[in-house]
Amino acid sequence: MSLLREIEAALADLARAETSNEWLAPAGVSFATLERAQYFASFPQWLTAASHLSGNEAALQHIAASASPGAAARSSLEPADVVLPPAVCYNTYAAHADSVIAAPVVMTAQGTCWRYEGERLAALERGWAFTMREIVCLGAQHDVREFLDRSVERVSALERVLGIDCEMVAASDPFFAPNARGRAALQRIKGLKHELVFRFPDGRPLAIASFNDHELFFGEAFAISLPDGSPAWSGCVAFGLERWLMAVLVTHGVEPAGWPVTLSLNAELARPRGTDE
């Protein structure tokens, strides 16, 4: 647990080097927000929603008196009102919806995210619930491109501090069929998504961070505009904390004595490579 907290702190420091605009990630996201983000045509396979019991006293008494109250409650749930966030960033776009941003906006947040992946679920590697730190940038194209470039440098520095060996690879999202291949191909050709990939000793890949250039997608979907009236560009960098934990444990072992001397962010991380005096 202390190691996870150290990693959490290191990623928070890395985010703070980019922005002091830290948000508290909401525990849920509305169906309307995901609809606006065209989520249901992209990744509906992951959706996990929150339901509740009705306030009907008779129904609650029936559940309480049942021999199997858990099963009784499960069969009495109301339709879901809210989605458990599949990513932190959707709420940040919704918060800027239908507005003009006068200057680039960079914000960060950490939250629990939920993606149901059935038989692919695996502890630490692919949890149904997992912890995500995101840094999101809204602005002009060059703002987002520069933000992503800086982020690659900062994350590479963190990788070095933690002593984990990773590679940066072009990637695409696992879009929902039927147009999955086309969307993934477009993403690959345009170089819109890169992942920092750790490899297990057997060569199996584990993406521990992703760098995403959304172009105008969310700016248009959420009507977020620049002062000249054009839609904002957006990009985000996302970290799966449990995956970073896995990478450190696989590299350095489970004994604290073998871990890097300090996992806290040092001065090297506060600035991208190449800016040393």
Partner 1 sequence: MSQRAQFIHRMVGWLNEEVAPKGVHVDAETPLFSTRLLDSLRVLELIAFTEQAIGLPIPDSHIRMDNFQTVARIAAVFLPLENHVVA
Distance, in Å, from the CA atom of 230 to the CA atom of 32, rounded to the nearest integer, reads 23
Packing angle between helix 2-18 and helix 141-162, nearest 10 degrees? 150
Q: CB of 220: closest distance to partner 1 in angstroms? A: 11
Does the footprint of partner 1 cover residue 41 (CB under 8 A)? no
Does the footprint of partner 1 cover residue 5 (CB under 8 A)? no
Tell me the window of 82-90, 160-168, 181-189, 230-238 that interacts with partner 1 (CB under 8 A): 181-189
Strands 129-139 and 233-240: antiparallel
Q: Which of 185, 227, 262, 264 binds partner 1 (CB under 8 A)?
A: 185
Does the footprint of partner 1 cover residue 181 (CB under 8 A)? yes
Q: Which of 186, 262, 266, 273 binds partner 1 (CB under 8 A)?
A: 186
**Of 268, 110, 143, residue with least CA distance to 215:** 143
Place of tokens 């933690």: 162
Tell me the window of 79-87, 110-118, 136-144, 178-186 that interacts with partner 1 (CB under 8 A): 178-186
Does the footprint of partner 1 cover residue 230 (CB under 8 A)? no
Q: CB of 122: closest distance to partner 1 in angstroms? A: 24
H-run or E-run covering 145: helix 141-162
Does the footprint of partner 1 cover residue 189 (CB under 8 A)? yes
Q: CB of 182: closest distance to partner 1 in angstroms? A: 4
**Of 78, 50, 49, 53, residue with least CA distance to 64:** 53
Q: How far is CA 75 from the centre of its chain?
A: 32
Distance, in Å, from the CA atom of 42 to the CA atom of 211, rounded to the nearest integer, reads 18
Does the footprint of partner 1 cover residue 74 (CB under 8 A)? no
Are the beta carbons of 200 and 184 closer than 8 angstroms?
no
Tell me the window of 19-27, 72-80, 187-195, 266-274 that interacts with partner 1 (CB under 8 A): 187-195
Place of tokens 């990478």: 247
Residue ranges that bind partner 1, judged by CB under 8 A = 170, 179, 181-186, 188-191
